[in-house]
Amino acid sequence: MKPVHVGLIGCGTVGTGVARLLIEHGHMIEQRTGVPIVLKYVADLDKDRDRGLHFAPGVFVDDAWQIINDPQVDIVIEMIGGVTLAKELIASAIRKGKHVVTANKALLATQGNDLFRQAATAGVDLAFEASVGGCMPVIKSLRESLVGNQIQSMVGILNGTCNYILSKITEEGLPFATALSEAQVQGYAEADPTLDIEGLDAAHKLAILTALAYGMHINFEEIYIEGISAITPLDIQFAHDFGYCIKLLAISKNRGNAIEARVHPAMVPLDNILSNVSGSLNAITISGHAVQDLFLSGYGAGMMPTASAVISDIADIARNMRFGAPGRVPAMAYQPDQIRPIPVMPVTDIVTHYYIRFAVQDRPGVLAAIAGILGDNDISIKSVQQKGRKSNGHVPIVMLTHHAREADVRKALTEIGRLDTVGPAPVLIRIEDDIQED
Amino acid sequence: MKPVHVGLIGCGTVGTGVARLLIEHGHMIEQRTGVPIVLKYVADLDKDRDRGLHFAPGVFVDDAWQIINDPQVDIVIEMIGGVTLAKELIASAIRKGKHVVTANKALLATQGNDLFRQAATAGVDLAFEASVGGCMPVIKSLRESLVGNQIQSMVGILNGTCNYILSKITEEGLPFATALSEAQVQGYAEADPTLDIEGLDAAHKLAILTALAYGMHINFEEIYIEGISAITPLDIQFAHDFGYCIKLLAISKNRGNAIEARVHPAMVPLDNILSNVSGSLNAITISGHAVQDLFLSGYGAGMMPTASAVISDIADIARNMRFGAPGRVPAMAYQPDQIRPIPVMPVTDIVTHYYIRFAVQDRPGVLAAIAGILGDNDISIKSVQQKGRKSNGHVPIVMLTHHAREADVRKALTEIGRLDTVGPAPVLIRIEDDIQED
């Protein structure tokens, strides 16, 4: 069988994992695919780092363009991250008729529509299983396994850093800043954790999944994003008392003529399987009209789990090459000419349950005033509790609402904020509670 | 695009779901695959049953052979179940160069080696995603997503009937027979439930997965099988006190030169995600050297979840036909000439933790005698508790062992059974406890 030649650009953590699997397990991969896969090049600027791998002479290069320009290279693996250079390399590879594998969600979420169009025109595969959920086959499931399903919703834990931090706060009662520092020490958070903790990374992934699920263009800019830095041990404790834990969720729902797409901390019922996903794991529940709920969980980051997903893409492309079948499965799940524009709803239009914590003065009439304003805004209260102790002259009051429209909730909170008896900045956490409809 | 013609043989529950998806969602499936899929025939002996579907004239036939003999039919969907006729139909379809989709695990577990060989020789696809785990993409994950992984183990809940019954016993304290009756009333168990409750169905599925995971022939006869009919509310309660629930597990482990493959009730730690899989759900944890643990869960039976998996197979084959790529992914994960014989270990050679419940006379020296025999057989005790109340002159003593060899445990139980002070038939339940190694 004619071998497939692969060039790897970027040999950091995941790139090293990919090289290792190709070098150490190439025989097994060939036993399965029937195609020998040759790692012809590994390009990285850092020559001296010990990767625990022995490359044959000529394999390790410092110039990525050597890979792009070698006509023998069939598949380019982009593992450098970032947007500008990565896009340039991928677009050049596509123009030269090479297939591409990437795990670069930031790139695909922002430039994917353009790149997928170029790949389709050139008749090459652009594969990206590792961009969402690491080793979880969520892209393959949406594109292939669920092909007979109208996707109704996806609810995922797609950022291991946030999940690790929230688990730490939950299990050890640490304040956010301490939990973040621990995550950094343990290698679960970057030195600059902004992309993760502010929810952008999860939103990049949600943008990709949402487009795949509903047959629409990638629409990252329309996703509502809220990070986890305001989550306190107090709210996690109160959530627990009500039967919930708090997770950073990526949520996408098919509302017929529009899509809900949002990333924010949310309360998850303790008896929902997502509440069992702790530490740096990822997970997703995909609901389709035929399957009902399909649940996947696995490591969403890390050297070998992510490399495993990259290898599955390389193998898919190698199989396509063997049979002359590039484009056999369209990159974005739907045939390129079938992708439609579907609007993303503004977050103010969503309807869900809310947890609201007010700091109020401990005197008669306060609750009546708050409840009155909520009622005037069509928000009905499911449960109210005065929780915990007085601090700074205020006591916490926690309310759970029935289904309410986000615009109404925001308007009510603004009005309530004007009351003299209510402290500043109530805490608002959405509840993801489809199991317990009321 | 040239349409693909499908003939469905057997229009019972799942067959009806398949027909419904093809009729009602054919457009969406074409938007994704790029191939029109035409349901040319539906064969069933029962013409009068109301399936809620309108078939065009000539589609519904009562003779399965009409489908096999029509040269225009590209894909035959075998949904009649059973072994003899199903095998004859599938083998004939293969000989005529047709691709085949089936969900028939009993057939594949016992005759699969032969059928897969025939399909490979004929150059047609024989697809079976729906045979294991219903809507969970476990076959596709093993064949494609985990292609870079040495599979280390699989631990699954693969029979929804047993899981439903065990959940009922756990949640409501019902005796087995009552829980089984309720499952029958609710439609979760057949009138003759033997295949399910005796573990054969789960073992059929495990036989298929084991072959796929390790690149070996299907070896159903070698699997150790024990059903759930001896499980009592008492043992479930005691298990809970120790931090476990009881599930019917299908377990397959790569031990290097041999494979462990067994189906039996087992104790699962309550903090393991498998313990959250209740009711008629299925789930599996697949461990690979790169991914670590990948967890899937979804409905393993029922009309639409199973039909969804059948549709994914039809779509895969349609895509292969479009590109002239049948056999692109080998049916049994490895290229046919790479499948090796790997022996299955006798269950007496496995090493695990055990829960043992004895009924003993409540007098001094009994525990010492039991402990002595266990010690003489290299079995060390992790925990002993005298639990519950006296009945028939005996009190229950429950022991958890450290790692022990099954042969040693069986020998010790025989010796203990000869003691005058110990009642007959101790209860032995294996513990699946890799998380809490000691």
Q: What is the CATH number of the domain that holds B389?
A: 3.30.70.260
* Chain B closest-CA separation from residue A36 CA (Å): 13
Q: Which residues in chain B touch residue A312, judged by CB atoms under 8 angstroms apart?
A: 144-148
Let me know whether A8 and A116 are in one domain: yes
Kindly write down the DSSP assignment for every residue of A282-350, as one continuous string: EEEEEEETTTEEEEEEEE-SSHHHHHHHHHHHHHHHHHHHHTT-TTSS-TTSS-GGG-B--PBPPGGG-
Q: What is the CATH number of the domain that holds B19?
A: 3.40.50.720
Let me know whether A185 and A84 are in one domain: no
pLDDT at position B438: 32
Let me know whether B289 and B415 are in one domain: no
Contact between chains at B328 and A312 (C-beta distance less than 8 A): no
Would the pLDDT of A435 be above 70? no
Let me know whether B30 and B123 are in one domain: yes
What is the tens place of the pLDDT at every residue in B255-296?
999 999 999 999 999 989 999 899 999 999 999 999 999 999
pLDDT at position B178: 96
The residue range of the domain holding A389 is 347-436
Mean pLDDT confidence for B44-65: 95
**Hey, how many other C-beta atoms are within 10 angstroms of the C-beta on B366?**
18
In chain A, whose CA is at the least distance from the CA of B271? A276
Let me know whether A209 and A105 are in one domain: no
| pTM of the model as a whole | 0.97
Let me know whether A128 and A201 are in one domain: no
What is the tens place of the pLDDT at every residue in A253-294?
999 999 999 999 999 999 899 998 999 999 999 999 999 999
Mean pLDDT confidence for A394-412: 96
Residue A142 placed within a domain: no
* Chain B closest-CA separation from residue A405 CA (Å): 31
**Helix or strand or coil: residue A431?**
strand
pLDDT at position B116: 98
Mean pLDDT confidence for B372-398: 90
Mean pLDDT confidence for B213-225: 97
Let me know whether A210 and A285 are in one domain: yes
Would the pLDDT of B435 be above 80? no
Partner residue opposite B136 with nearest CB, options A147, A294, A320: A294
Contact between chains at B296 and A299 (C-beta distance less than 8 A): no
Residue A36 placed within a domain: yes
Contact between chains at A330 and B32 (C-beta distance less than 8 A): yes
Residue in this structure with the two tokens 């032995």, named with its chain if needed: B428
Mean pLDDT confidence for A190-217: 97
What is the tens place of the pLDDT at every residue in B99-157?
999 999 999 999 999 999 999 999 999 999 999 999 999 999 999 999 999 999 999 99
Contact between chains at B290 and A305 (C-beta distance less than 8 A): yes
- Interatomic CA distance for residues B122 and B95, integer angstroms: 7
When pLDDT is cut at 50, 70 and 90, the band that residue A364 belongs to is confident
Let me know whether A158 and A295 are in one domain: yes
- Structurally, chain B folds into a number of domains equal to 3
CB distance B223 to B198 below 8 Å: no
Let me know whether B388 and B326 are in one domain: no
Residue A156 placed within a domain: yes
Q: Which residues in chain B touch residue A145, judged by CB atoms under 8 angstroms apart?
A: 129, 135, 137, 140, 308-309, 312
Let me know whether A16 and A157 are in one domain: no
Helices (H), A34-175: 64-69, 84-95, 105-122, 138-140, 160-172
Contact between chains at A144 and B296 (C-beta distance less than 8 A): no
Q: What is the CATH number of the domain that holds A285?
A: 3.30.360.10
Would the pLDDT of A438 be above 90? no
> Which of these, A285, A289, A238, lies nearest to B273 by C-alpha position?
A285
pLDDT at position A11: 97
pLDDT at position B1: 83
pLDDT at position A179: 96
Let me know whether B109 and B130 are in one domain: yes
Let me know whether B311 and B429 are in one domain: no
When pLDDT is cut at 50, 70 and 90, the band that residue A372 belongs to is very high
pLDDT at position B436: 35
* Chain A closest-CA separation from residue B310 CA (Å): 9
Q: How far is CA A118 from CA A9, A124, A311, A327, B254, in A?
A: 20, 9, 23, 12, 44
Mean pLDDT confidence for B168-196: 94
Among the ranges given (B67-76, B87-96, B199-208, B274-283), the one the predictor scored with the smallest mean pLDDT:
B274-283
Catalytic residues of A: 205
Would the pLDDT of B218 be above 60? yes
* Amino acid (1-letter code) at residue A36: P
